[in-house]
């Protein structure tokens, strides 16, 4: 036990990641833990486990916060805290040094628009160069109409399309962060789902994928970078004279249009592959509140007519 207390904290954190996280979480999430490990190693290379108290841990967080926004610092704290709480449970630390910690951070950058309205999305789609062969403009159209996550859309193969029933089966994602790329599991079990397509999209993609290898991703020919599609989107948005958004914002746009169209939160959550409706409600709270205000107006108009 004494040896463990004298161990360098970053070494303890590294061993903890290997013991509890490797093989139990998705590779993308594991990469975030290793990134946190790099920062602990950089900011506290000489800190021993026994040196951990509220002051030393707060100093570590403050140092991290100098280069990161508050939410990023919070994420870092949650990952490091997991290892520290296990050290408390094991009796290596007698007290929890993360108690009553203050989370700081740089002022957040100006946020880009989260979604487009219906008129703006129509202007964007008019700019698409939809050729007879698949390109990134087809990818943008697909995400706009389905709300797929970036990695889910990249992982699509011809086998995932059920054109007879106009559905897309989501069972996997594509690890685009890896240089060679590979299939990997979905974000959670709720992400395994069937998404209904409109008849036009079904007809278009039935022709586009008919001669492709049924088991290979239809969009991935070489290593894919998120920035490639975002740069293409920037050009399209600029040409359409609308706010510049990212590929992930198209997912938000899809959900927003459905909510404004009167689709239930439960249906939107299922279509997006959210683990619970709470996630959907928290993400689109501003839209839900706006819809509630509209509903209140309708209620008052209806009640006032009952005279």
Residue 38 shares a structural domain with residue 172 = no
Q: Is residue 269 part of a domain?
A: yes
pLDDT at res. 254: 95
Where would I find the beta strands (DSSP E) of the chain?
Answer: 161-162, 167-170, 173-174, 183-184, 193-196
pLDDT over threshold 70, residue 211: yes
Residue 134 shares a structural domain with residue 227 = yes
pLDDT band of residue 250 (cuts 50, 70, 90) is very high
pLDDT at res. 3: 80
pLDDT at res. 279: 86
pLDDT at res. 113: 63
pLDDT over threshold 90, residue 95: yes
Write the CA distances from 111 to 143, 210, 235, 246, integer angstroms. 21, 40, 19, 11
Across the range 57-74, mean pLDDT stands at: 94
Residue 217 CA to residue 212 CA, distance in Å, equals: 9
Q: How many CB atoms lie within 10 A of CB 261?
A: 9
pLDDT band of residue 306 (cuts 50, 70, 90) is confident
Q: Is residue 133 part of a domain?
A: yes
Residue 149 shares a structural domain with residue 275 = yes
Residue 244 CA to residue 238 CA, distance in Å, equals: 7
Residue 137 shares a structural domain with residue 261 = yes
Share of the chain above pLDDT 70, in %: 97
pLDDT tens column, 140-177: 999 999 999 999 999 999 999 999 999 999 999 999 98
For 71, the domain range is 2-89
Residue 154 shares a structural domain with residue 68 = no
pLDDT band of residue 65 (cuts 50, 70, 90) is very high
The per-residue b/e assignment along 73-89, b for 16 or more CB within 10 angstroms, e otherwise, is beebbebbbbbbeebee
Phi, psi of 217 (to 5 degrees): -55, 135
What is the distance in angstroms between the CA of the first residue and the CA of the last residue of the chain? 79
pLDDT tens column, 10-37: 999 999 999 999 998 888 889 999 999 9
Rounded to a whole number of angstroms, the CA Rg of the chain reads 24
Share of the chain above pLDDT 90, in %: 76
- CATH code of the domain covering residue 41: 1.10.150.130
**Using CA of residue 252, residue 257, residue 262, residue 267, what is the dihedral sign?**
negative
pLDDT band of residue 109 (cuts 50, 70, 90) is confident
Residue 82 shares a structural domain with residue 135 = no
**Coil, strand or helix at 169:** strand
Residue 127 shares a structural domain with residue 35 = no
Instruction: Yes or no: say if 84 and 52 are a contact pair by the CB < 8 Å rule.
Output: yes
The string of DSSP letters for 17-36 reads HHHHTTTTS-HHHHHHHHHH
What secondary structure letter does DSSP report for 48? B
Q: Is residue 10 part of a domain?
A: yes
Mean pLDDT for the chain overall: 92
- CATH code of the domain covering residue 247: 1.10.443.10
pLDDT at res. 206: 97
Residue 60 CA to residue 194 CA, distance in Å, equals: 45
Number of domains, the chain: 2
pLDDT band of residue 111 (cuts 50, 70, 90) is low
Q: Is residue 257 part of a domain?
A: yes
Residue 139 shares a structural domain with residue 14 = no
Of 52, 71, 89, which closes a domain?
Answer: 89
Residue 159 CA to residue 142 CA, distance in Å, equals: 16
305 exposure class (CB count in 10 Å sphere: 0-12, 13-18, 19+):
exposed
The per-residue b/e assignment along 97-128, b for 16 or more CB within 10 angstroms, e otherwise, is bbeeeeebbeeeeeeebbbbeeebbebbbebb
């Amino acid at each position: 036990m004494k040896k463990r207390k004298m161990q360098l904290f970053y070494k303890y954190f590294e061993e903890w990641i290997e013991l509890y996280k490797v093989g139990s979480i998705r590779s993308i999430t594991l990469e975030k833990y290793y990134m946190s490990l790099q920062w602990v190693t950089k900011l506290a290379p000489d800190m021993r486990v026994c040196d951990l108290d509220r002051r030393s841990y707060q100093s570590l967080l403050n140092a991290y916060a100098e280069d990161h926004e508050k939410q990023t610092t919070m994420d870092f704290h949650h990952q490091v805290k997991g290892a520290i709480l296990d050290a408390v449970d094991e009796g290596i630390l007698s007290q929890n040094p993360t108690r009553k910690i203050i989370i700081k951070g740089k002022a957040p950058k100006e946020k880009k628009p989260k979604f487009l309205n219906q008129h703006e999305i129509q202007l964007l789609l008019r700019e698409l160069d939809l050729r007879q062969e698949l390109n990134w403009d087809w990818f943008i159209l697909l995400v706009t109409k389905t709300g797929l996550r970036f990695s889910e859309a990249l992982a699509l193969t011809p086998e995932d399309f059920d054109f007879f029933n106009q559905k897309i089966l989501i069972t996997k994602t594509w690890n685009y962060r890896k240089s060679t790329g590979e299939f990997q599991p979905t974000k959670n079990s709720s992400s395994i789902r069937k998404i209904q397509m409109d008849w036009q999209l079904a007809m278009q993609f039935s022709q586009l994928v008919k001669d492709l290898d049924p088991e290979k991703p239809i969009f991935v020919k070489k290593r894919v970078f998120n920035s490639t599609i975002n740069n293409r989107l920037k050009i399209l948005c600029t040409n359409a004279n609308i706010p510049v958004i990212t590929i992930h914002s198209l997912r938000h746009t899809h959900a927003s249009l459905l909510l404004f169209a009167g689709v239930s939160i439960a249906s939107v959550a299922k279509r997006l592959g959210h683990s619970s409706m709470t996630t959907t409600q928290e993400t689109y709270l501003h839209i839900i509140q706006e819809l509630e205000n509209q509903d209140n107006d309708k209620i008052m108009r209806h009640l006032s007519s009952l005279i």
